[in-house]
Each structure stands twice: as structure tokens, then as C-alpha cells.
A = this chain, B = another copy of it.
């Protein structure tokens, strides 16, 4: 019979997808250029040209069996080696080939990393605001996702609430920096504090607690800064990466898990993830896509548009009376709504063709997310509309 659990999920449609579909429909009525669609985190800059060049070259010149043959279950060995070397050079962590497991994007990376270090019934902790897909990701491992409430002052972590939530049943902690939806980059201090707490609790509980670090926005960072690399701060770290945002290849489903060489069982964790693949039907990302990204490991698409858009929006929102923490990276900004109910706020904005996502599902009621991976010209045109919306609906904010 058709599985009732999954059937039941069909009614719980994603608010992001619903708003995005609305924006598309509305675009058919008034022209999509007139819909200020900030709903979806779909990269708006073209893929790196070097990627296309390499794909064309290999399909013209290389032996088809070498391009399209079965990749080993942990990923193409040359690609894994190249990833290890690139990370080692960049972050100073001594990765070797055996620490890298190639995956279908960050979703695939998280699916394997979570299963590798938990068993059904365990608890996994994450921090609000968080990407809503973490809920199904964790739920289908059989674990329970516990959410530490947001620290809305700066969207670093809420240390006291975190410590209170820890217990011997917690086997993994899931972080995301730079963060979707807040755009915040965890500071060195945050990572040091987190590591210190986890080390202490490992000793106290007598078992490992793994840090699963979701890093698809690692390369989208502003003001010329570097993102502190979580694995440098805590040995039991599994770094989950995707090339979706850095190379603008979200549809290609390509990423990896990098196991910290000092983690418990570091030498076998990638092999364990290979076993997990047999059960969940993953069996490696595309062989040619693996070879393509191997040539672009230290490149990115031209990501400058995101910083330009962020500055425009941050200035405008601040001027309009919004409470908003300035993003350090990503292509999201996360202001507080101008009324308590962010859903009601976003419904009103929709009347102005401003498509904003209320953050209840991100574990942070009262806030909303804007994805500004759109053309700068459209961001510029959205600002007077935003102004009109606030002036008409929330005049007190402008006072």
C-alpha cells in the first residue's frame, strides 16, 4: 500500500515553494519583471565558464568510458584527492583522499553525514534560524531535531539555551555558516565557544558528539572577509559542502563531505558513508560533473552582485525603520517584520508584489527572509515599492 506517512506529508507544502509558485503565476499576469520575487535561493549568476569549457573539452576529446563509467562508490579517486589538497591548502587541515566522500550536493552530504554518526532515536541539535529542510533531513534518519532558539541580537548562537538543551542523547550538532536565512557568519569566538562546550560534554557523557557543518555559502562572503572554517576549531567535524552556490551549479547536484582527519574513526567514516549510499540509493554524483568541478575547485562564479544587492537592501531597510542585522555573506537578509505576525506582514507585502518569506518555518517567528539572488536592477526598482508599502501600511515605522 502507498506509504501513509509520506502521503500525509503532501498537505504540508513548503511556504517557500508556494510563494515562488505564486510569483510565477503573478508574473504571467503583470510581467515577471514587475514581481519583486525574493522567495527562492536560486543562484542568479552564470556558472563559471571554466566549468563549461572543461565539460565541452572532455566530451570532445576523452574516452567516453573514462567520463561516463561507474565512479567508485566514494567518488572518483582523482577528484577526492584534488578536493583534499585544495581544502588542505586553503584551510590548513590535513585532509587526505580517504577523508573525502563525494555527494549529490549538500542535501546528499547531510543525508550521509547524519546517518554516519547517529542512530534512530538519537537527538540532533541545530540553531534557529535554520533551513527548514533540516526537519525532513533529520526526521528520516529516525533522529529527533531539537532547535536552540535564535539569538536575535546578532544571530550568533544562543549559548545558554544550547547548554541547557544538551543531554547524553545528543549525538550530533548541525550548524550552517554563513547562515541561511540570516546571512550571518559565525565568528571565531562563536566557533571556539561551541567547540569548548562540545569537548566538555564529550568528556562528561563519555561519547563523541559530531559537529555537522553545512557550508554551501562558504564562498559568498562580504567586505573581503574570510569565513572561519568550523573544522579548524573542533576535531569531530564533518564539513558538508555543495558547489551549487559558489559555481552556480545547483541543478548538477555536486558536493562532498570532508571528514576532519582528527575525528574519531576518521579513516573509515567515508567508507561508512559509502555503505549508507547502498541503502538510500544515492550511489555517487554524476561522473562527468565530478570531473568538471575538479578543474574549478578554487574558482567561483562572479559573486559580486550578491554583495552589491545586500548593501542596497540593507541601507534601504534600515532607512525604512526595519530592525536588521547586516549579513556577512550568503544571498539572504533577515529583517524583523513590522508587526508581530510575520505571516500577516508578508501577506500584506504580497499586495505590493513584494514576495517575502515569513520565518516561522525557519524557527524564528516575527522575522522574514529575502533572497536577493536576483538582478541588481530589480533590487533597485523594488526599493520605492518597499517604501510605498511601509508608508501605507506601517507609517509608524518611518517616524
Contacts and interface: CB of A to CB of B under 8 A. Distances in A.
Chain A interface mostly:
helix
Interface string A24-61: 00000000000000000011101100001001100110
A3 B253 contact: no
Contact of A64 (B7, B52, B65, B103): B52
A140 B4 contact: no
Given A64-B52, A283-B105, A70 B3 contact: no
A281 B110 contact: yes
A2 B286 contact: no
A288 B252 contact: yes
A1 interface: yes
Interface string A253-297: 110000000001100110110011011111111111100000000
A123 to B, nearest CB: 13
Contacts of A59: 52, 55-56
Contact of A283 (B10, B108, B271, B283): B108
A65 to B, nearest CB: 7
Interface string A1-21: 111111101100000000000
Interface stretch (A112-120, A183-191, A346-354): A112-120
A130 to B, nearest CB: 15
A71 interface: yes
A176 interface: no
Interface in A90-140: 103-105, 107-112, 115-119, 133, 136-137, 139-140
A9 B286 contact: no
Most chain B beta-carbon contacts within 10 A, residue among A7, A44, A251, A252: A251
A384 interface: no
Given A47-B68, A278-B136, A282-B282, A2 B248 contact: no
A142 to B, nearest CB: 9
Contacts of A252: 68, 286-288
Given A64-B46, A251-B287, A265-B2, A107 B281 contact: yes
A10 B265 CA distance: 13
Contacts of A144: none
Contact of A253 (B271, B275, B286): B286
A249 interface: yes
Contacts of A133: 278
Interface hub of A42, A68, A108 (most chain B Cβ within 10 A): A68
A388 interface: no
Contacts of A4: 119
Contact of A275 (B10, B171, B250): B10
A383 interface: no
Given A110-B281, A111-B280, A253-B285, 19 more contacts: A2-B116, A2-B265, A2-B268, A5-B119, A7-B265, A10-B275, A47-B64, A47-B68, A55-B55, A64-B248, A68-B249, A69-B251, A107-B281, A108-B282, A139-B279, A140-B279, A251-B286, A251-B287, A285-B286
28 contacts: A1-B207, A2-B268, A3-B116, A3-B117, A3-B119, A6-B275, A7-B268, A7-B272, A43-B65, A43-B69, A52-B64, A56-B59, A68-B249, A68-B251, A69-B250, A105-B283, A108-B281, A110-B281, A136-B275, A137-B279, A140-B278, A140-B279, A251-B284, A252-B286, A253-B284, A280-B280, A281-B282, A282-B282
Q: Pick the 3 closest A-B CB pairs, nearest first.
A: A111-B281, A140-B279, A251-B287
